[in-house]
């Protein structure tokens, strides 16, 4: 659609909350025609916070941008039939389905494959035993909150970003594209299974944390805002603003020492400890002493002075902000960034809205599009995708099997 | 390779740290032939913590599983030429390159496209202005640490999981698959650009946080381990173990109340507040009072009793663990989970290693494979991919342009 890299592809989504809606939106923002179906009352995430003063979900609006919405009562047999027809509708670049709400005997892969043999589905579940799991439960179970927070903290600290959902959602995209690539070459579809728990469990291994426990018997301790395993720390400037400063690579470390003019002190520190601070492990072990050397430099300067010195000296750093400050202060979070536009979201209002972070050199950057109102595309999807005649569509509306906003008025037009 | 969904695809990677190595590994675990090239001394992440007592990087081993490694001195003109030849080598399913170390005039998209016109590249950068950025700087700048941690906390708390890297890495996979899909249909390649900062900035919008600031003037406050916008909280059991309990959906909420036999108290609470606790916003506003009602139930029971009651009653919950406890206690982090195998990692030892979280119904699950030793595949890649004759390969080793482990012995064999 409109020239995106996935133009011509059609994906149907049955979902709620973060991961699969994010997957569908990511595909839509790359140009796929993504159809999300929901109950006429909305899915489980239709009221998800944050919401406006009028109770409209900013969350739902954020994660469903650029999709088409059909409202269909899949609690009725006819509603399920129609949804299946939409999922399995013909088209070389269609027959693609993503879900975190797979229902056995209906939207599981085998049931859909009976209707369209080459269908590709991606199903995200909680864990491999079929138990429910959400980001808020997966994260404590694998151990990250225990390792998070101030050095002297005694309590686990959960992350606020639903990181596992965001990772899993992007994996749903990759899994679908990989399955569709395979279908194009071999002619047959398949079901791709993925669980939120496995995404987290695998990452624990990928990041070396399992190896650390197995080989060193280590369970990483809380380290506050320090960068693990090298050097990186937060500092307070004279004006009370806080910055994060990185000495992960040798180059970053040298630039930091140079700009803060602490070469002499760092040399003395290294000699006194008998270590080479060009080694990342030495910086990690000596992090508290390094920080002590650096603190006065920050305490003597306002943020502006720190910023210009660091930018001139090639230091990798950033300032801490709350969300409101980030929106007010950061040009990357404004229309100066071509990823963003000020967009009117129906039912909510106009605000800064991101498109896709991808920039494909061969294709124009796709403008962000608003999320649909629930059921906004019911009629056109029934006609164009399910291929139903007008008379049948009218009777489905009459029977309440499908709905759309301002239904009576629109039907009459 | 070995029947993965991407069998036959070849991807070349020039990378360091988390995001792009994770992308390459994800592709390799789906069956692609992924070739990572590094300097003979190793890349910037070759010593990255965690490490073993012998100084071997468990991190590097974790993020490079299943790849082939060529060690090549790309600081020499001939080394660069050879690397370019490998990146641009012929093959319908080759000519794919991912990097976070793009060097202008050499590994940028335009330079590579001169050598292979249909090349697809994905380049991850720090931010859109070309400034350096890492997960540890992007995160504070967009505002998450400010919103993280105990309700009464005054300091920002950074996450320990490099979440933005993990998200961006999976987007590198999607971006590459999308570009390659487009190439197959249109016959031409393209460069895909992505920045870590934009990934975070977009997610701020996707999750409704930008809308919340814009529409409500809100900057989300710290809420400890509470689930934002509905109900979810951590509790201490009688034996001191901590659990996370979820009441996000109406069903989860009802199950929680039922199992803890707090219907009466919750009804009284709702009446006294004049709210309906079936509404997620009402649960969020009343979260402290709800927690007060529930605390005694947990305080009277050990974890085992809580676990069996919750599992029987369909409650969504989990236990908090540190990393060591997670490995010792969680069957999902063991060989009971078909994703894991105990694998010998050369130079390190044998430990639990994850394969891909994906399970493709039409293909056998791919066993995890170890990471290569640096330069392990130098010779075979020069012969099979770059197509160099034996005599030239020998002279490249002699000149130190390329290296491999135990070089003299292997060359003689």
Domains of chain A: 10-203+368-403 (3.40.50.10540), 242-319 (no CATH)
Nearest chain A residue (CA) to B181: A181
Pairing of strands B242-247, B231-236: antiparallel
Rounded mean pLDDT, B70-91: 98
Closest alpha carbon within chain B to A353: B205
Q: What is the token pair recorded at B168?
A: 């961006």
Among the partner-chain residues A50, A133, A357, the one whose CB lies closest to the CB of B198 is A357
B326/A62 Cβ within 8 A: no
pLDDT tens column, A125-160: 999 999 999 999 999 999 999 999 999 999 999 999
Find the catalytic residue in A33, A45, A135, A165: A165
Give the mean pLDDT of B29-57.
97
Going by pLDDT thresholds of 50, 70 and 90, the confidence category of residue B218 is confident
The reported pLDDT for the residue numbered B411 is 43
**What does the alpha-carbon distance between residue B148 and residue A397 come to, in Å, rounded to a whole number?**
46
Residue A111 has pLDDT above 60, yes or no: yes
Among A199, A43, A375, smallest CA distance to B354 is for A199
Distance from CA of B263 to the nearest CA of A (A): 22
Look up residue A62 and give its two tokens: 């954020």
Query: How many contacts does A have with B, using Cβ atoms within 8 A?
Result: 516
Mean pLDDT of B194-209: 98
Looking at CA atoms only, how far is residue A326 from chain B in angstroms? 5
**Please, what is the average pLDDT of chain B?**
96
Give the whole-angstrom CA distance, residue B321 versus residue A140. Answer: 6
pLDDT of residue A412 exceeding 90, the answer is: no
Q: Give A7→chain B minimum CA distance, Å.
A: 9
Confidence (pLDDT) at B409? 39
Residues from chain B that touch A177, judged by Cβ atoms under 8 A, are 174, 177-178, 181
- pLDDT above 90 for B412: no
Query: For residues A185 and A187, what is the distance between their CA atoms, to the nearest angstrom?
Result: 6
Q: Residue B203 has which token pair?
A: 């997610």
Q: Which residues of chain B neighbour A146 with C-beta distances below 8 Å?
A: 320-323
Which of B59, B158, B218 faces A225 most closely, judged by CB atoms? B158
Q: How many CA atoms lie within 13 A of A253 on its CB side?
A: 22
What pLDDT score does A122 carry?
A: 98
Report the C-alpha gap between A372 and A69 in whole angstroms.
6
Report percent pLDDT > 90 for chain B: 97
Instruction: Please give the positions of B annotated as active site.
Output: 165
Nearest CA-CA distance, residue B85 and chain A, Å: 22
Q: Is the pLDDT of residue A58 over 60?
A: yes
Yes or no, beta carbons of A159 and B173 under 8 Å apart: no
> For chain B, what is the radius of gyration of the CA atoms?
26
Residue B133 bridge partners (DSSP): none
Transcribe A265-333 into DSSP letters.
HHHHHHHHHT--TTSHHHHHHTHHHHHHHHHHHHHTS-HHHHHHHHHHHT-EEEE---HHHHHHH-GGG
Give the closest of A133, A158, A201 to B337, CB-based: A201
Contact assignment for B5 to A58 by CB distance below 8 Å:
no
- Reported as half-sphere exposure (CB side, CA atoms, 13 A), residue A361 has a value of 18
Chain B CB contacts of A60 below 8 Å: 208
pLDDT at A287 over 80: yes
Mark yes or no for CB contact B132/A194 under 8 Å.
no
Q: Tens digit of pLDDT for each residue in A199-218?
A: 999 999 999 999 999 999 98
Burial of residue A288, with CB atoms counted within 10 A of its CB: 0-12 exposed, 13-18 middle, 19 or more buried:
exposed
Phi, psi of B245 (to 5 degrees): -130, 135
| Overall average pLDDT of the A309-321 stretch | 98
Q: How far does the CA of residue A393 sit from the closest CA of chain B (Å)?
A: 32
Residue B23, classified by CB atoms within 10 Å of its CB into exposed (0-12), middle (13-18) or buried (19+), is buried
Spell out which residues of chain B touch residue A148, defining contact as CB-CB under 8 Å. Answer: 157-160
Residue A409 confidence (pLDDT) above 90: no
Is 50 exceeded by the pLDDT of residue B158?
Answer: yes
Residue A195: what pLDDT? 98
Q: Which long-range contacts (CB under 8 A, 24 or more apart) does B278-282 make?
A: B278/B250, B278/B253, B279/A47, B280/A47, B280/A48, B280/A49, B280/B229, B280/B230, B280/B231, B280/B248, B281/A47, B281/A49, B281/A51, B281/A55, B281/B229, B281/B230
Gyration radius (Cα) of chain A, Å: 26
SS3 state of residue B11? strand
The first and second tokens of residue B46, run together, are 């070759």
Instruction: Give the residue on A whose Cα is nearest the Cα of B118.
Output: A362
Q: What is the pLDDT of residue A7?
A: 96
Q: What is the mean pLDDT of residues A234-259?
A: 98
pLDDT at B406: 81
User: What φ, ψ does residue A291 adopt, rounded to 5°?
Assistant: -60, -40
Contact B203 A166 (CB under 8 A): yes
CA distance A62 to B181: 27
User: Considering only CA atoms, which of A351, A349, A341, A327 is closest in space to residue B220?
Assistant: A327
Tokens 């320990």 -> residue: B160
Task: Quote the minimal CA–CA distance from A395 to chain B in Å.
Answer: 32
Phi, psi of B78 (to 5 degrees): -65, -35
Mutate to test the interface with B, among A359, A364, A371 (most CBs of B within 10 A): A359
- Collect all residues of chain B within an 8 Å Cβ-Cβ radius of residue A134: 246, 248, 316
> Does the beta-carbon distance from B156 to A234 stay under 8 Å?
yes
Average pLDDT (B228-246) is: 98
Band the pLDDT of A411: cuts 50, 70, 90.
very low
Asked if B47 lies within 8 A of A242 by C-beta distance, the reply is no
Contact: B192, A358; criterion CB under 8 Å: yes
- The alpha carbon of residue B12 is apart from the nearest alpha carbon of chain A, in Å, by 18
Q: Is A30 exposed, middle or buried (0-12, 13-18, 19+ CB in 10 A)?
A: buried
Nearest residue on chain B to A44, judged by CA atoms?
B249
Mean pLDDT of chain A: 96
Instruction: Enumerate the residues of chain B whose CB falls inside 8 A of the CB of residue A337.
Output: 128, 198, 201
HEC-encoded secondary structure of B222-279: CCCCCCCCCEEEEEECCCCCEEEEEECCHHHHHHHHHHCCCHHHHHHHHHHHCCCCCC
Mean pLDDT for the stretch of residues B265-273 = 98
Which of A3, A6, A208 to mutate: most B Cβ within 10 Å? A208
Contacts of A188 in chain B (CB under 8 A): 362
Mean pLDDT of B233-249: 98
Cis peptide before A50 (omega within 30 of 0): yes
Contact B244 A137 (CB under 8 A): yes
Nearest CA in chain B to A226: B158
Q: Side-chain half-sphere of A339: how many Cα atoms within 13 Å? A: 29
């Amino acid at each position: 659609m409109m020239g995106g890299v996935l133009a011509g592809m059609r994906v149907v989504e049955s979902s709620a909350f973060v991961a699969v809606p994010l997957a569908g939106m990511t595909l839509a923002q790359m140009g796929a025609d993504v159809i999300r179906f929901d109950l006429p009352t909305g899915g489980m995430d239709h009221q998800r916070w944050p919401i406006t003063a009028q109770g409209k979900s900013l969350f739902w609006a954020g994660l469903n941008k650029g999709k088409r919405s059909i409202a269909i009562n899949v609690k009725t047999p006819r509603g399920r039939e129609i949804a299946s027809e939409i999922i399995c509708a013909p088209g070389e670049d269609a027959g693609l389905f993503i879900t975190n709400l797979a229902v056995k005997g209906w939207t599981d892969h085998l049931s859909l494959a009976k209707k369209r043999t080459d269908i590709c589905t991606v199903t995200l579940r909680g864990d491999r035993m079929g138990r429910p799991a959400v980001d808020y439960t997966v994260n404590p179970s694998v151990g990250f909150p225990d390792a998070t927070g101030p050095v002297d903290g005694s309590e686990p600290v959960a992350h606020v970003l639903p990181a596992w959902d965001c990772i899993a959602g992007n994996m749903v995209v990759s899994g679908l594209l990989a399955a569709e690539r395979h279908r194009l070459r071999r002619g047959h579809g398949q079901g791709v299974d993925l669980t939120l728990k496995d995404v987290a469990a695998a990452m624990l291994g990928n990041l070396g944390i399992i190896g650390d426990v197995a080989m060193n018997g280590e369970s990483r301790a809380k380290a506050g805002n320090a960068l693990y395993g090298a050097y990186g720390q937060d500092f307070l400037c004279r004006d009370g603003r806080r910055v994060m400063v990185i000495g992960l690579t040798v180059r970053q470390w040298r630039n930091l020492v140079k700009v803060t003019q602490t070469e002499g002190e760092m040399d003395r520190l290294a000699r006194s400890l008998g270590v080479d601070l060009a080694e990342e492990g030495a910086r990690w072990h000596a992090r508290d002493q390094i920080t002590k050397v650096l603190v006065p430099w920050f305490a003597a300067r306002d943020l502006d002075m720190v910023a210009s010195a660091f930018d001139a000296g090639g230091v990798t750093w950033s300032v801490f902000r709350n969300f409101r400050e980030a929106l007010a202060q950061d040009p990357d979070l404004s229309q100066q960034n071509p990823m963003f536009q000020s967009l009117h979201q129906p039912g909510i209002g106009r605000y800064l809205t991101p498109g896709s972070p991808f920039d494909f050199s061969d294709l124009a950057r796709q403008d962000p599009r608003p999320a649909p109102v629930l059921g906004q595309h019911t009629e056109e999807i029934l006609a164009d995708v399910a291929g139903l005649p007008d008379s049948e569509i009218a009777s489905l509306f009459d029977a309440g099997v499908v709905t759309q906003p301002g239904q009576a008025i629109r039907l009459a037009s």
